[in-house]
Structure 1
């Protein structure tokens, strides 16, 4: 479904990407261009992943103030990083490559979340609301365990963990980015071919089943897709809890549609635009005086409170 708003967003993202790459006569240095290209690729991958994953999660939950982070992805990632520092320092383990670390983080997060999804849904007769509640409890458990282990670390060891508490776009590994890009491309193709099915699923479980849709099976497939999207983006740069909420609110305001043929690319493109333009501002204008992740979390959290206050939960 072609739409001029999607073309406008695509043009805006391409313009922002060109500015990010070429600012300050960077085209004269192949080394600078390579570094910026890797960072730009990371920003695009994370933006597409977070934006699309949030739209899918809100479709399943039928709630516009929820994001996949409520399921405890960020808490699990932080617990993993804390355990790695805690164990590696104590046992003097050799460091692993960035690509290997990315694959390990992604695999563990995907496996853990899929186990929780399958076990909970089978016992609750596909109740997505109860699954969300279980995710909140598990996330709280992970945060508590991570906080306990962090108190046992030395200040220098804790500083290593602290660096992973917010998303960092400056240390993206090129090999890890390539793996993430290939995985996400395959997933995006499958999701795009299923956008009409998502429109029906947004009606709810009973109406979708009445229309002949195997809702329970598709729900598990979408949860697996969400797990992959969030795990890849989190393992690549770190947690971004409220970016999805900020992006989907802007997407619904711009698109004014329930069709996923517009919502999916719209959310992905808006997320890319926010990240690329924001990173350009902080690097080129503010000279890294602050952190883009901190500002996004603040704005997203503020928007969350505003939506709750206005009662816009659906």
Structure 2
């Protein structure tokens, strides 16, 4: 039996120089081949999308299909942004329980909307809806997120615990300030504001979708170009650096991309705290591999199945079309707690 050379690390999926045959891919679980898994997910996503768009149309077909297309476009953007951002964030933090949304990010959106109503009145929310407001909200939230996440990688004392502590503290502070300001509003203004503080797939404007889709395509192309670097980051900082990855620069770029995706999703459809966590967790379970070339598209497809299929069921089975995001957040929070208790640690 030959000895392994000191300092040489085995590469998953490749045999050692002295091995007689190819070693199995340790990142892949036994079961269906990866192309079959992706194909099944794509077929389910297509079926859920077709059912939502085409079935049970009553009245004017043109009016119904226009509304549904706008809502479906919002679903696609939200599914892509939340799924990709969460998978990438979990990769760079080496933690399957963390998502960008639970780090105090949604509190920024709530505070921004509350300040608008307090300063300018309830009518300002509808009067200012448009692409400029979407861009402004996205830039502000992205800037806050980059500033917050930089704690994880800044200096020798930066750590995951620092990021968690800062995110929780700032999130609580922003929510407390928002609650205080909301108590100063009249009942009518508070009702208008409350409708904006929950995830809403049906109220997105069609004029916002081209910008949101363009941003997602650009960010998605950059992330896809870095899919092999993301695989390398899973090996740890020291190993990734030894393999030629500029670790700090790569994390800075990825954090910026995550911030843009989450900010765009939140500004377009409102806060969705646990949706990204559910899609990422299911993507890893169904992919059968840790390779991002598989996990990223699988996460998007699962997100699209969840939103399109869930909306179809809520509309035509339970007749509660506006409750999908509430149900997703409730179930996602329950799954998060169960997963956390089973794992026992962050």
What's the TM-score, normalizing by structure 2? 0.84
Tell me: CA distance 1:133–1:148, structure 2 relative to 1, closer, same or farther (3 Å): same
Q: How do residues 219-238 of structure 1 correspond to structure 2 at under 5 angstroms?
A: 219-238=251-270
Match of 2:90 in 1: 58
TM-superposition CA deviations, 1:243-273 (whole Å, max 9, x none): 1111122112111211111111111110111
1:13 aligned onto 2:12: no
**1:202 offset after TM fit, Å?**
1.4
Aligned length: 314
Aligned match of 1:271 in 303, 311, 323?
303
Tell me: CA distance 1:291–1:25, structure 2 relative to 1, closer, same or farther (3 Å): closer
What secondary structure does 2:217 align onto? helix
Tell me: CA distance 1:26–1:90, structure 2 relative to 1, closer, same or farther (3 Å): closer
1:99 aligned onto 2:109: no
Tell me: CA distance 1:26–1:191, structure 2 relative to 1, closer, same or farther (3 Å): farther
Counterparts of 2:250 and 2:287 in 1: how far apart (Å)?
25
**1:52 offset after TM fit, Å?**
1.0
What secondary structure does 2:197 align onto? coil
What's the TM-score, normalizing by structure 1? 0.93
Counterparts of 2:247 and 2:186 in 1: how far apart (Å)?
49
Greater than 3 Å deviation, 4+ residue runs? 25-28, 90-94, 115-129
What secondary structure does 2:258 align onto? helix
Larger Rg: 2
Q: How do residues 237-248 of structure 1 correspond to structure 2 at under 5 angstroms?
A: 237-248=269-280
Tell me: CA distance 1:212–1:154, structure 2 relative to 1, closer, same or farther (3 Å): same
Q: Which has the higher helix share?
A: 1
TM-superposition CA deviations, 1:80-120 (whole Å, max 9, x none): 11011111129989922332322221121112222334477
TM-superposition CA deviations, 1:17-46 (whole Å, max 9, x none): 111111124696222111110100000110
1:188 aligned onto 2:252: no
Counterparts of 2:215 and 2:123 in 1: how far apart (Å)?
33
Structure 2 unaligned spans of 5+: 1-32
Alpha-carbon RMSD across the aligned residues, in angstroms, is 2.4
Tell me: CA distance 1:225–1:289, structure 2 relative to 1, closer, same or farther (3 Å): closer
TM-superposition CA deviations, 1:211-246 (whole Å, max 9, x none): 221111101111111101100110001011011111
